[in-house]
Structure 1
Amino acid sequence: MRRVLVLGGTWDARDLAARLDADPAVSVTSSLAGRVRDPVLPVGDVRIGGFGGVDGLAEWLQVNDIDAVVDATHPFAARITANAADATARVDVPLLVLRRREWEPGPGDRWHTVPDLAAAAGAVPALGERVFLTIGRQGVDAFADGSGWFLVRAIDPPDVSMPARSELLLDRGPFSVDDEVSLMRRHRIDVVVTKNSGGALTSAKLEAARRLDIPVVMVSRTPIPVGVASTSDLEVAVRWLTQPHGQRPRIV
């Protein structure tokens, strides 16, 4: 029995857990950080909550005799990814990062790519007064001193400072393009701020912005740690996990 730990509550992580759970030769445990109040749970065994940093994760991997780890967390969960890289290296457990492909600008897009949320907050005033903030609930405080009006969309309410002039919209994707166009028109949005999380689940806002000729401030991802194998292909991840160690496909 091959024991696999899947980190993350993303759709990618749930898809992977379902595939692995169907394999009688694999025992899969999914780990969720517990930051979402009502998460959509994957099939199979689930643990909720942190490990206690690198030391705690390394100990958990050894105690539970884990054979491989897949980091399928949100592309912006940089701290978890770094901890996973350090912990697996310490106890010599293979690690694979499963990351959906980044969004790329197309014809008609008006993207302003920035390295982080602080830079995004600095870019907004020159682009518009009414801001659609779609970065989730974490990091909203980077915009707390903004003078504009903000529509903040998140699954759960932010536990940090909100902009003084703002409206909170609690909602969970997927979203349709028509609904996103209607939402932006209704709130007279001038600029969209988002993270380059990739995937189809929340990409409709980008098509809506393109249709309405609205600029998008796009926050870049933090790079995956050097030397860590990664893929955006679920099938590659499944083969990597289900093949014997010496026969796993090489991933760089």
Structure 2
Amino acid sequence: MHVLILGGTAEARDLAGLLAADPAPGWRVTSSLAGRVSTPRLPPGAVRVGGFGGAEGLAAWLTGHRVDALVDATHPFAAAMSLHAAEAAARTGVPLLALRRPGWTPAPGDVWHDAGSLTEAAGLLPSLGRRVFLTTGRMGLAAFAALDELWFLVRSVEPPGEPAPSRTEVLLDRGPFTLAGERGLLRRHRIDVVVTKDSGGAATAPKLLAAREARLPVLVVRRPPPPEGVRTVTTPEQARSWLAHCTP
């Protein structure tokens, strides 16, 4: 049974590992990575890197490589790829499952502000603080580029490109992060507001705990809605169970 995992997340790697460790059903797993990170963490099994050329290209790949099941385990904000996956699955009849880690929810003591997009977040930001810890990834900095009156600490895995805010310090780092480390980072850089996407998961959650302790406002960009009609699970174990019932 050939399974294509649209990956790049910890959940995708964990699912590939579960399937690789369970050879009884005869899994053949291919993980697809977008290629935006030069040194990605590779999952077990076969790996392809790069785009497919939209929904049509993905549909052709599914057919040409005789894929029996498709798992969309991309980042919760990879809306275009998720839409392409839904369209390609509909064209080919390949069963599709979305694997999404649960989003974060505020707890007592949190000072959260919601935004529907990076652009909306940039509009709200000047009213919340002046020294910003920006953890939304390197691809969306253009939304904040005009905020010259603010200072930004930008953390990303790869160096960000232009345009970017004029007063920016870049911190190249990759999670998981610790609560002690996040406490120290906020203190050293005198951060007074945190900006994040609702990515969910434990690897980057300590920044939210550190912000809660310091009573800092956190600007949270909400997730885009998933494609309609796609079944969704939240754990690799649930995805593996679903795959066990997808007999080709």
TM-score scaled to structure 1, two decimals?
Answer: 0.95
Of 230, 242, 245, the match for 1:243: 245
1:97: Cα distance to partner? 0.4
- For 1:244 and 1:171, locate their aligned partners in 2 and report how far apart those are by CA, in whole Å: 38
- What is the DSSP-based 3-state SS (H/G/I as helix, E as strand, rest coil) of the residue aligned with 1:138? helix
- Corresponding letter in the other structure for 1:22: A
Matched, 1:23 2:22: yes
Alignment correspondent of 1:132: 133
Q: Any stretches of 5+ residues in structure 1 without a counterpart?
A: 247-252
The equivalent residue for 1:250 is none
In 2, are the aligned partners of 1:4 and 1:67 still within 8 Å (CA)? yes
CA offset digits 1:203-244 (Å, max 9, x no partner): 000000000110000000001111001010222110101224
The runs of at least 4 consecutive aligned structure 1 residues that moved more than 6 Å come to: none
1:194 aligns with 2:204: no
The one-letter code sitting in structure 2 at the alignment partner of 1:209 is: A
Query: For the residues of structure 1 that align with 2:162 and 2:97, how far apart are their CA atoms?
Result: 32
C-alpha separation in 2, matches of 1:244 and 1:162 = 45
Aligned to 1:211: 213
**What RMSD over aligned residues (CA atoms) do the two structures have, in Å?**
1.0
Alignment deviations for residues 173-192 of structure 1 (CA, whole Å, 9 cap, x no partner): 01101110100110000100
- SS of the residue 2:153 aligns to: strand
Q: Which of the pair has the greater relative contact order for Cα pairs under 8 Å at 6+ separation?
A: 2
Are 1:26 and 1:242, in contact at CA under 8 Å, matched by a contact in 2? Answer: no
Matched, 1:144 2:145: yes
Equivalent-residue separation in structure 1 for 2:35 and 2:245 (angstroms): 31
* AA aligned opposite 1:12: E
How far is 1:21 from its partner? 1.5
1:245 Cα deviation from its structure 2 partner: 4.1
CA distance in 1, matches of 2:197, 2:61: 31
One-letter amino acid matched to 2:213: R
Query: For residue 119 of structure 2, what is the aligned residue in structure 1?
Result: 118
Counterparts of 1:95 and 1:160 in 2: how far apart (Å)? 36
SS in 2 for 1:168: strand
1:162 corresponding residue in structure 2: 164
Q: Compute the displacement of 1:159 (Å).
A: 2.3
Partner of 1:179: 181
Q: 1:154 to 1:244 in 2, by over 3 A?
A: closer
For structure 2, the residue ranges without an aligned partner over 5 or more in a row are none
Q: Could you tell me which residue of structure 2 aligns to residue 9 of structure 1?
A: 8
Instruction: Give the structure 2 partner of residue 68 of structure 1.
Output: 69
How far apart in 2 are the matches of 1:193 and 1:165? 16
Which amino acid counterpart does residue 188 of structure 2 have in structure 1?
R
- Report how many aligned residue pairs link the two structures: 245
Partner of 1:232: 234
* CA distance in 2: counterparts of 1:171 and 1:21, whole angstroms: 29
* Deviation larger for 186-195 or 230-239: 230-239
**TM-score by structure 2 length?**
0.97
CA contact (8 A) 1:143 1:162 kept: yes
Q: Deviations over 1:43-91 (max 9, x none)?
A: 1000001011111100000000000000101100000000000011100
Q: d(CA) in 2 for partners of 1:155 and 1:233?
A: 24
1:53 maps to 54
**SS of 2:138 mapped into structure 1:** coil
